[in-house]
Amino acid sequence: MGLVLPGQLDPDVNGVGGKSELLFKNVQTKGFPAYILGDFWLSGTDQGCPSTFRWCSLSKNFINPELKWKAGHPKDGLNCVYLEVRNGSVLLASANCAEKKDFLCEVRKKATSQKATQTECAEIWDVSNEQIDMLLNASQFLTSNISINQKCFLKCIGVENGLFDFNGLDSIAMLRQIEFVSQEDPAKLQQGFGAYDECKDMKNDDECSTAYENYKCGQEKVPSLVSDIVKINNNDGTFATQVLPPTPCIPLRKFCWMSNSTPCEINQTAKDLLYNSSTLSDKYGSMKTLLNRTYYVGNVDLSGAINPVNVYKICCERGFKIYEPSSVAQLKLTNTITGDPGTTVPTGDTESINQTHEVWCRSRQILHDSFFNTAPSAFRYPCVETLMGVSKYNFLLERYEYYSPILFNRYLYPQNYTPVTGYFYIFLCEEP
């Protein structure tokens, strides 16, 4: 379940075929009044998001050409977005987040999680299962006439998976997908990046045709890689998308909040002081070697006020990287490395890939379910901002929550807030 996007109510925003017009007709035919009056909160906000206004339920930027704002909106200082519905008028507007308004929500059709989005996109564009199967068969797809509805189905699935944005591929998301399915295979990775360079600039007069040309190019250049991307997005090799069940909140996707905002720069003076010290230590910590790997272990802070952003900088300045454990065995060694089994340790930041996987922002390695202190359903997409750390209780990964929409800002701009204590008591840096 998520808060609805207004593009789904506006028949002019999606070009060929009018996806949103069909959606609105579906609403009219199911017993709802043709005109609904009122103001309804949406998931759009500029708080707790890594840019200006975003759809936080999808972790996507607003696509300005698809939006129709009320005159004079958005206004400075008004951080949340609502839908103003009047007779014959559906507009976005901004407001103070504390105002009381109704909520407008969307819920997936009742189906298995793998089939819900596919069913929606197929019904919107009147595409049959046989036509969908054909799109997945590279040889059949490349020799068939593809209807405009099938092309728009491809766009619909691409948008839902976060791979397609206004008038083309989402470059970062697409490169992340190629990187993800090519792990530990440099040749496949290079082939995927080469195909992306050839396909990324293909444009057409409408978004559905652009999505089709992008997909066709991929099927021509790297059909096996395209097949792998479909599988890791959808688990069963079809176009179906894994979706979350209805929940009382909007789960937040993880993004590289720390590494994207903080340069990793070596401070040669600080590095020389550490390496030239007789004790291999400085005012922040000391070096330690274990199992042929060198670490930099921070001093204990009894108040638990260690700032992960400061750790990130300190590690980089000395030629190390903030801790990103790559196995359960390495996690279990954390107390041995730090020499203090009673403390929690901050780690690097993570990024969501699809709605099925999470990777370290620096190393790009997958965080497997076995790394975590809690069941998968409890950690994949929490509904509040969280920091990753190594638990002091069993030395597995755990999310540390702070019930505020500005958790990351508290660490990025600590001078503006009361210090956060009781979280991280020691830090750990590792060789790059």
Once rounded to an integer, what is the mean pLDDT over residues 91-119? 65
Share of the chain above pLDDT 90, in %: 18
Whole-number Cα distances in Å, 87 to 34, 38, 81, 91, 231? 9, 10, 20, 11, 44
**What is the predicted pLDDT for the residue at 25?**
31
Nearest CA-CA partner of 213 in 229, 227, 230, 201: 201
Query: Is the pLDDT assigned to residue 16 strictly greater than 60?
Result: no
410, 403 contact by CB (below 8 A):
no
**What is the predicted pLDDT for the residue at 376?**
57
C-alpha 334/C-alpha 397 separation (Å) is: 11
Assign a CATH topology to domain 268-430: Mannose-Binding Protein A; Chain A (3.10.100)
**What is the predicted pLDDT for the residue at 24?**
31
Count of C-beta atoms within a 10 Å radius of residue 185: 11
Radius of gyration for the chain, computed over Cα atoms and rounded to the nearest angstrom: 24
Q: Assign 79 a pLDDT band (cuts: 50, 70, 90).
A: confident
Q: Among 15-29, 266-280, 394-408, which stretch is predicted with the lowest mean pLDDT? A: 15-29
Architecture of the 2-106 domain = Roll (3.10)
Decide if 2-106 and 116-234 have a common fold. Answer: no
Q: Among 55-69, 175-189, 396-410, which stretch is predicted with the lowest mean pLDDT? A: 55-69
- Return mean pLDDT, the chain: 76
Nearest CA-CA partner of 299 in 287, 289, 290: 287
Higher-scoring residue by pLDDT: 60, 50: 60
Instruction: Look at the block and give the residue holding tokens 């969307």.
Output: 106
Report residue 306 as tokens. Answer: 């260690």
Higher-scoring residue by pLDDT: 47, 424: 424
Of the CA atoms within 13 Å of residue 269, those in its CB half-sphere come to 0
Q: Among 48-57, 65-74, 208-217, which stretch is predicted with the lowest mean pLDDT? A: 48-57
Element (H, E) at 188: helix 186-199
C-alpha 83/C-alpha 74 separation (Å) is: 12
Residue ranges of E strands in 130-259? 164-165, 168-169
Query: Is the pLDDT assigned to residue 276 strictly greater than 50?
Result: yes
Residue ranges of E strands in 199-343? 285-290, 293-298, 321-322
Reported residue count of the chain is: 432
Query: Is the pLDDT assigned to residue 187 strictly greater than 50?
Result: yes
Q: Is 414 strand, coil or helix? A: helix
DSSP secondary structure letters along 89-138: EEEEEEE-TTS--EE-EE-PPSS-TTTHHHHHHHHHHT--HHHHHHHH-H
226, 195 contact by CB (below 8 A):
no
Nearest CA-CA partner of 381 in 348, 353, 339, 422: 353
CATH number of 116-234: 1.10.238.20
- Domain range summary for the chain, segments of one domain joined by +: 2-106, 116-234, 268-430
